[in-house]
Structure 1
Amino acid sequence: MHRFFVPQLYNETMTIEGVDARHISKVLRMQPGAQLQIVSDDGVSALAEISAIDSECVTVHCLEKLAESHEPAVRLILAQGLAKGEKMEFIIQKAVEMGAYSVVPVAMEHSVVRLDGAKAAKKVERWQKIAESAAKQSKRDIIPEVQPVQTMAQMLAANDCATKIIAYECEDKKSLKAALKEAQAKGALTDLLLIIGPEGGISEAELETARAAGAVPVSLGRRILRAETAGLVAISAIFYETGDLGD
């Protein structure tokens, strides 16, 4: 069933406007009486029925609230070193599908891509649209935020999670699994910051900055993963270990 995010507080009667209204009327060709799911601005998911429709506005009547949550127990923030080309779009899309709470594009020392000012803002706007589309497709209860492009220090200051993990290719002592078990034992696996480097990797200075902020360096295995692969592998492993992928 199709799901739409409605930027209004929950009410028995709600309106879907703009691009989503045109998609419902012109692409999906839904008619009055058809049912869909809505998620309101205050986080309420509901089954709704279309009562009136045109190309610019769809009015729905909410039939029942949906109790089932599609969100992981762990609030995971992915801090991704800027990757070139369409790789960032791919990473953001898949991270949102998999359950990331937020994505932070990080301008790192070894990033090939350089973004600032208006160019950075325009990219973030596009990435946010990709996140919204992925949230709809995967039936998320929220639209994860793509935060503004930040430096490592800015990102760490703005995202002070209980557990911070940085994937580092030279780490040969601690695995991701071991770090997660330690965090679980401390009861600190409620929110997690996952830091992934760009194509050129994480510099020693950035590693030390992350360490100073409490981030634990971990290995993702014996093979070197690409920038667009590492974060997705780590997210999968984290949600598997925390039971989000099923018993």
Structure 2
Amino acid sequence: MRRLFYKGMLADTVEITGSDAHHLMHVMRAKAGQQIILVDDANQVARMEMTAFREDAVTLTLLERLEADTESPIDLILAQCLLKSDKMDMVVQKAVELGAVGVIPVRSQNCVVRYDAKKAAARQQRWQKIADEAAKQCGRTALLEVAPVTDIKSLLESENGQQDSVLVFFYENEDQQTVKDYLQKITVRRIVLLVGPEGGFSLEEAKAVEEAGGKSVTLGPRILRAETAALTAMSVVQYECGDLG
């Protein structure tokens, strides 16, 4: 059943406008009597019936409130160094499916792609649309937020002083502390995963992250592609600390 996210609170009658209304009427060719799942800003979920149509709006009538919270008990955030566009698209989509609440695109020294300010803003909008659509398809009860593109220095500054939070740094030169061993030592609500680009992290970046309190861990003895590392990292964290275990 089609799922929509509503910027407001559930009520007996709700009016959908904008792109969602256009999609229902002109893409799905929806008709009166058809049903959808609606999620509001408070993560409340309901089964709704389409009861009326105007040129730019669809009226929904409440049928049933649902107990359907699909959110992880942890706030998982992926700080992903920029990848080639198709890989970054895929990582954002899978982050939604794996229960992350945010993706932070990060510029780093060895990133293959380089965006000016205009292109970076356009990419952020694209990734947000991908995330929103993925949330509808996989049954999320909250939308993932894609942050503006930032750099490692700014990321570390923003993480400084965060409460009940850790920054986990996946580093190819780490050979002592596994991600499993580290995760079994912590009990925090918010976990930020920093994953490098295709070219890996520079020594200067690795040193800066560790000096800022990032915890260096390894994902095992094999060298993983950047997109594989991101998906593996999120899966391992959700298994150990979230809702995949």
Bin of the TM-score, shorter chain as denominator length: over 0.9
The residue aligned with 2:72 is 72
Q: Kindly state the Cα deviation for residue 156 of structure 1 after the two structures are TM-superposed.
A: 2.4
Verify the 8 A CA contact 1:6 1:15 in the aligned structure 2: no
* Alignment length (residue pairs): 242
Segment of structure 1 superposing worse, 219-228 or 208-217: 208-217
Equivalent residue number for residue 163 of structure 1: 166
Q: What residue number does 2:215 align with?
A: 216
The residue correspondences of 1:192-231 to structure 2 (distance < 5 A) are 192-231=191-230
Structure 1 residue 152 corresponds to structure 2 residue 155: no
Residue 101 of structure 2 is matched in structure 1 by 101
Who is 2:175 aligned against? 172
Please report how far the alpha carbon of residue 174 of structure 1 lies from its aligned counterpart in structure 2 after TM superposition. 0.5
DSSP-derived class of the 2:150 partner: coil
Per-residue displacement from partner, 1:118-139 (whole Å, max 9, x unpaired)? 1111111111111111111111
Cα 1:124–1:243 shift into 2, 3 Å: closer
**In angstroms, what is the RMSD of aligned CA positions?**
1.6
What residue identity is the alignment partner of 1:4?
L
Which residue in 2 is equivalent to 1:37? 37
Q: Distance in 2 between matches of 1:150 and 1:85?
A: 16
SS at 1:182 equivalent: coil
Q: Which residue of 2 aligns with 1:28?
A: 28
Displacement of 1:9: 2.8
Query: Deviation at 1:157?
Result: 2.6
Residue by residue over 1:52-78, the C-alpha shift from the partner in whole angstroms, topping out at 9 and shown as x without a partner, is 135631110122322221111111000
Q: Which secondary structure state, in structure 1, belongs to the residue aligned with residue 48 of structure 2?
A: strand
Distance 1:224 1:51 in 2: 54
Q: Deviations over 1:190-216 (max 9, x none)?
A: 110000000110112211221122211
CA–CA separation in structure 2 for the residues paired with 1:234 and 1:55:
46
Deviations 1:1-22 (A, max 9, x none): 2110112233221111222223
Deviation digits for residues 14-58 of structure 1 (CA, Å, limit 9, x no counterpart): 111222223222333332222211111233222211111356311
Instruction: Structure 2: state its 5+ residue gaps.
Output: none
Q: Which residue of 182, 185, 204 maps to 1:182?
A: 185
The share of aligned pairs that are identical, in percent, is 42
Offset of residue 243 of structure 1 = 4.9
CA deviation after TM superposition for structure 1 residue 117, in Å = 1.4
Alignment of 1:130-145 (within 5 A): 130-145=130-145
CA distance in 1, matches of 2:101, 2:204: 27
Structure 1 residue identity aligned to 2:53: I
CA distance in 1, matches of 2:22, 2:51: 16
- Whether the 8 Å CA contact 1:26–1:55 is kept in 2: the answer is no
2:47 corresponds in structure 1 to 47
Paired AA for residue 56 in structure 2: E
8 A Cα contact 1:25 1:54, kept in partner: no
Residue 58, structure 1, aligned to residue 58, structure 2:
yes
Tell me, in whole angstroms, the C-alpha distance in 2 between the residues paired with 1:76 and 1:121: 23
Please give the alpha-carbon distance, in whole angstroms, between the structure 2 residues aligned to 1:13 and 1:133: 24
Partner of 1:241: 240
Shift in alpha-carbon separation, 1:213–1:66, aligned structure 2, 3 A: farther
Aligned partners of 2:167 and 2:63: how far apart in 1?
Answer: 41
Q: TM-score, length-normalised on structure 1?
A: 0.92
